[in-house]
Structure formats: C-alpha cells, structure tokens
Amino acid sequence: MDWCPVEWPNRSQSGMTAKMQAKQSGKKATKAGLVGLLILFLMAAGVLGYALLSEKIVLPAVLVRAEAFAKEVLSGEIPVTVTADGKTQVVRTKAKNVQELLNERGITVKPADEVQPALTALLKKDMAVKVTRVEVKTVTKQISLPFITERIPHPEMPRGFNRQVKKGKPGLQKETWQIRYEDGKEVSRVCVAREVLREPVNSLVQYGTLSAISRGGQPLRFSRALDMLATGYTYTGFNTASGTAPAPGVAAVDPGVIPLGTRLYIDNYGKATALDTGGDIKGNRIDLFYETRNEAIQWGVRKTKVYVLE
C-alpha cells in the first residue's frame, strides 16, 4: 500500500496570520472611530453655528477668545483701536503698519497732524492708534503801551496842589501770536514777534512842596491846600452842626473833604474852623459865616485857596 504524505501547517505561520488579522481589524476600528469623531465634530459645529447665527446662545469667554484666535489665524486679521476726527472704533485689519491701516480706513494725515504710534510702527493685536488733528494759526493784534507819569517837586507850589506840565500819550505795539489747536481745541498760544509802532509819551506833573505861607506878616504852616468854591452865609436861627452858635470864623464844609474841627486859613477871609455843614456844601465847596447879610452878599461866590493848618 502506498501512503500519501500529509503536511500540517507550521505553528509559526499560523501565529503570524492571526497577528495580521488582528492588525487589520485594529486599523479598521481606528478608521471607524475617527470617522465617528469627525461626524460628531461636524454635527456639533453645525448645531453651534446655527445657535450662534440665531443668537439663541452666548459663547463663554473662553470660546469667544478661541473663536477670535481662530479668525485671526484663518483670516490674518487682528483687532486694533483707531481714534480720529472725534470717533473711536475697534476694527479688524490685515495691515502691516500704521500707515497701511490709515490708508485702509480712508484717513488722510496732513503734515501738521500727529499720529501715535508713528506711521512706520508695526501693528500689534489690540494696539491703539490715534490721529490728532493739529492746526496752527498766526494772528496779529495791536495793543496800547501805557505811558508813565513823571512827578517832579515844585517848591513854590503849596502842598496838595499838582500841575500837569505835559500830557501823556499811550504808545502802540503790534504783536504776532501763534495759536495751536488740537482737534479743534486751543492748547497753547505763543507770542513770536513784537514791534513797537509808536513809543509812549510820558506825562509830566509838578507837585507842590511848599508847607508854609505868610499872611499879614504871620507865618502859617499847613499840611495841604485846596482850590475851593466859596460862598458867604449869615444867621439862620440854628446852631452849627457841631452844636455851637455860628460866629465869624465858622466855615461850613463837606466832612468827607475837610473833617469837622479842622483849622483853616482862607485867602481874603482869614482864619476859620470847620464847624458846620450844609445841604449844598458838597465836594470842594465851602460856606463862610458873616455877621451881616450884606457882608455875605458882598463876598458872593468866588474861587479861593483854602489851607489846612497844622
């Protein structure tokens, strides 16, 4: 009898076949898992996108930042703040520097304007760019230059008297000013030039220093002298404002000019004392008492010098 040989599979070969099958099964499972995750991600993205578009939900801050970062990465845009012409806006831009950003926004910069940061500065996320409109105006104006009053003593003029020898006249000066405006508001003004168009003319006044006079051979010292309008009056039936009866040598005065009780000397009248007042005696007015009406009338109304005695 002939026998046919039977070949049995090698143990090592069967083991390798099992490993290959297991590896192929693992790859299929991995692919299936990835496909499932992709489907879940797409479904979640679709639901999330619909919710955002319909404004039914609000993303948490972390997701908002993540979304913004994704937009920056995908679009190449960054957020910056632009302030110009009274408006401040947060914009997204692909510009590389400040100049490109302003060109993109249609913002023209004039030579006098100030831009911060500089036009060549590279843009960064959340950078603030400000354009300040600058205008410098030049104005001219004329101003009056005050004159000085020069005072010189006059030894023959009584104290209290002044006499103007020369009138003063103000001068004239032209000034040029530069006024700076930023965004329409004045921030500074500087005088850049001054030109005297007319020099001022100083006033010259003489003042009296004479403090003593002689009347009837009698020397009299006085503190001041006044030019006054003098009238005469006589008995009225009333006592003086000081409470005494009127008598020769009594003068009615304005207490605001000559205090009551002041000793006086009046040219062409003589010595007197300020003891009375009168309704019409205001300012540089004086009323001199006479014993008779005729004497008062004879005096009349005249200008005279009144010396306030020391």
Same fold for the domain at 76-132 and the one at 211-309?
no
Backbone angles phi, psi at 187, to 5 degrees: -115, -20
Q: What pLDDT does residue 99 have?
A: 96
Q: What pLDDT does residue 257 have?
A: 96
Q: Where are the domains of the chain?
A: 76-132, 136-152+164-205, 211-309
pTM of the predicted protein model: 0.52
Side-chain-facing half-sphere of 114: CA atoms under 13 Å: 9
Class of domain 76-132: alpha beta
Q: Consecutive 10-residue runs of the chain (310 residues): their mean pLDDT?
A: 47 52 61 67 61 53 55 74 94 94 94 95 95 96 96 92 94 97 95 96 95 91 95 93 95 97 96 95 96 95 95
CA distance 264 to 56: 104
Describe the chain by its helix, strand, coil percentages, rounded to 5.
25, 45, 35
Specify the CATH number for 136-152+164-205; select among 3.30.70.1400, 3.40.630.30, 3.30.360.10, 2.20.230.10: 2.20.230.10
Q: Which residues contact 265 (CB under 8 A, 6 or more apart)?
A: 213, 215, 220, 222, 271, 272, 306, 307, 309
